Structure 1
């Protein structure tokens, strides 16, 4: 039996009722129940339907909306419901045939029109409900960023991050209440940004690296970018490891023996919305990993106090697993069982005993076994010579 649509998610802008398409107006006028925030309801004061205001937190509304099934329900959200808005949650909560989406112009489209920027050539980001440090991986000379704000303090917070990261000369434009009668614009430079604005703002940043600054790449971070105690996956090996792990958008990594967090952090920098859980029993290293994650733009790195395999049983299934410490048969077996379809496992070893185990694992489960040796040029008296690092054996497997 086909599912009947009963829930309409309608995007609305600061231009309110007058800015809605005729189809969106018709949906709202026919609704028995309209759900939205105070600002959304104020945009349509003439509707006679039952009104429900958003609770805080949003998830408290889920079961209440389910209980309205069978009535005509309209939900008001800002802009495009499926672009950094509540629409994605509704799409996940209800069957496809139950929900209809009615997009409005997004803040990104409006901002690029005001800035005369090509939307296809900018990075569209949000710090609404997220740490501001999440924008750090996207800082690059001549990059253009359009960022949805958390509130009126967000522009100053971003300006401070730009200054600290060597991008103080970046031009900033803050667009407030776009499309509405109170639309406002402020222009300035991160170095001396002092502007204040309303809560409904969007920040446009034309990034410029300061003289002498070496902007960090998205991946391939120098070892010096991390706080560490000497025990870490070094840059060359880290890049080979990440290539095997194959980061992709939204994928989850287990980083077992996370240390200073270098692999998990680069995994998260490599792909939008990639997630990582670091398992590390040493509290000093967990603290170090947390500091690195914040400084390097992966503030949502999750860190677990524990050892494998015991600490793995309650974790969500991973798309990839890296074993950099605590390698044993039980851990490998637990990871292989937990991996999602098309998942990848990578393990590195430096001791003869762990090398032997990797050889046995490769014989049992297949995959590739590789020995990696790296030498770096260093001074030898008045000259230079090659100083080798300890060779590393790597097993990669796609079960």
Structure 2
């Protein structure tokens, strides 16, 4: 029996600001032969009359519309236009998720990052990239480090002024900014300034990429990429896992790209925030019953560049119902609440990690009991700071912290 013919693949064509003239012959042929061409209004306008296929603009919001739009044109020769490289913050991901990669024929174009690095003389592999397309400007803050080169994918004409304002607010006013407009097109140009002097009224083309030579202002607190940020980096009311204990706690939690943390008893949010700062794909949910603290956590997350931190206001374990399964759990408060420890343990899949900190004898006894039953590591963390004692210097001991960390059995090795 002859197998039924496979439906034609969807051809995904990357296109730049240089339009039709900048396309390779294979991309031009694919667009000429398409019965349906789906793309943004700006992209569709770049095509000549010889592309006779039905032109279908993407609706807004785009992502939910993908399945229905593809189904409506099933069996026809479909081409989808994408900005530059379809798999670099582009429509390629949504199409692959929906159809599978084998159903796609992808003809990429140089990305805006490749163009920008070529104009600036920056090695692509050494250049950080932050997208603000459909994302809050605050996420840029996590990538700011003195001397770092960053490219910011802009959401439109207002983005450069928003970036300049954030840089000034975070102490990076001296940063050199270059806005690269219409990369690859005849109308390409650069607008240059510093965050401190940037004119919010400056007219900028909506199609732009922002290049940053990051410079921290004198006297501004330095924030490392490693866990253990200075305590002064946080707004708090005393409910803060202090710097040295926080660094040890993050080491025990062992975040990896893409993983999800539950932070129970968020306080100031420091554990969840620094978990997310370890990698842009790390996710976290923090549970805090106090409304004032929950709002404070959100502000800290915004200030430190992880505005995607999810803050759940409520008391655990009840507030844990319906949350996505975690890869790791940190319990910073409420250990003696009936059912809390069991609920967190049950939520973990094999290989998941649980870390609990306490300073009270009652909770310490509970952790010792679980240590005997489940193993793991039980440690006491003691930190002392040098302080003046008259004309001399002595040690002031902070309250010791008992920490239990354990990995759920069944982890694949």
Q: Distance in 2 between matches of 1:59 and 1:79?
A: 18
Could you tell me which residue of structure 2 aligns to residue 27 of structure 1? 30
Residue 196 in 1 paired to residue 203 in 2? yes
Kindly state the Cα deviation for residue 3 of structure 1 after the two structures are TM-superposed. 6.9
Of the three residues 144, 153, 158, the one matched with 2:158 is: 153
Residue aligning to 2:296:
288
How far off is 1:339 after superposition? 2.5
The alignment yields a C-alpha RMSD, in angstroms, of 1.8
1:208, distance to aligned residue in structure 2 (A) = 1.6
Q: CA deviation at 1:154?
A: 0.9
Shift of residue 82, structure 1, vs aligned partner? 1.1
1:132 aligns with 2:140: no
Contact (CA 8 Å) 1:6, 1:71: kept in 2 or not? no
2:186 paired residue among 181, 190, 193:
181
Taking structure 1 as the reference length, the TM-score comes to: 0.95
1:355 to 342, 359, 364: 364
Matching residue of 1:112? 117
Instruction: Note the C-alpha offset of 1:320.
Output: 1.5
Aligned mate of 1:388, from 383, 397, 407: 397
Contact 2:181 2:205 in 1 (8 A): yes
Unaligned runs of at least 5 residues, structure 2: 409-413
Instruction: Please give the residue correspondences for 1:44-123 in structure 2 after superposition, counting only pairs within 5 Å.
Output: 44-46=47-49, 47-67=51-71, 68-123=73-128
Which 4+ runs in 1 deviate beyond 4 A? 1-5
- Structure 2 CA distance for aligned equivalents of residues 276 and 304 of structure 1: 11
User: Residues 286-342 of structure 1, C-alpha deviation per residue, up to 9 Å, x if partnerless?
Assistant: 011111111111111111111222111211111221111122562232223322453
Q: Deviations over 1:215-248 (max 9, x none)?
A: 2112321111111111211111110111111222
* More displaced stretch, 67-76 vs 30-39: 67-76
Give the SS at the match of 2:249: helix
Whole-angstrom distance in 2 between the partners of 1:310 and 1:22: 60
Q: 1:191 to 1:263 in 2, by over 3 A?
A: same
Give structure 1 stretches of 5+ with no counterpart.
none
Q: 2:355 aligns with which of 346, 355, 369?
A: 346
How much has 1:391 moved relative to structure 2?
Answer: 1.0
Aligned length: 399
More displaced stretch, 63-72 vs 226-235: 63-72
Kindly indicate whether the alpha-carbon contact (under 8 Å) linking 2:150 and 2:211 is maintained by their aligned counterparts in 1. Answer: yes
State how far apart, in whole Å, the 2-side matches of 1:210 and 1:262 are: 24
SS at match of 1:192: coil
Q: 1: CA distance between counterparts of 2:98 and 2:13? A: 16
The alignment partner of 2:387 has SS state of: strand
Deviates more, 1:145-154 or 1:57-66: 57-66
Please say if residues 259 and 289 of structure 1, whose CA atoms lie closer than 8 Å, have aligned partners that are also in contact. yes
How far apart are 1:261 and its partner, in Å?
0.7
The verdict on how the C-alpha distance between 1:395 and 1:100 changes in structure 2, with shifts beyond 3 A counting, is farther
Q: What is the CA–CA distance in structure 1 between the aligned matches of 2:52 and 2:77, rounded to whole Å?
A: 13
In the aligned structure 1, how far is the partner of 2:30 from the partner of 2:328?
A: 44
1-side partners of 2:397 and 2:350: how far apart?
38
Q: For residue 277 of structure 1, give the secondary structure of its aligned residue in structure 2.
A: strand
